[in-house]
Amino acid sequence: MSGPIPLELQSKIANWRLRAAEGTLTLEEMREAVTYLRAGRIAASQAAGAAKRSSAAAKRTAPPPQEDMLSELEGL
């Protein structure tokens, strides 16, 4: 669920909110809502972690060759 929220889930969330505000949300519906919402947060967390790992790997660069570093010192 790291992408757009499907229309079916948007409809369920709206229904859960309405029923919760009215005080008619059942325990089973609460469990279902928590299951859906936690699944979405877990997926988002995993996607964010993967993005951080890939950007960190991209930022790492190899050190310059030793010969280049020594030649720069000789030119000083």
Amino acid 23: pLDDT: 94
Amino acid 58: pLDDT: 58
Domain that holds residue 19: 7-61
Q: What is the mean pLDDT for each group of 10 consecutive residues in the chain (76 residues)?
A: 75 92 91 83 65 63 68 69
- Interhelix angle 27-59/7-22, nearest 10 degrees: 130
Amino acid 24: pLDDT: 94
Asked if residue 48 lies in contact with residue 39, where contact means CB atoms within 8 angstroms, the answer is no
What's the rounded Cα separation, in Å, for the pair 51 and 64? 27
13 located within any domain = yes
56 located within any domain = yes
53 located within any domain = yes
Provide the number of structural domains found in the chain: 1
pTM for this entry: 0.49
2 located within any domain = no
Amino acid 68: pLDDT: 73
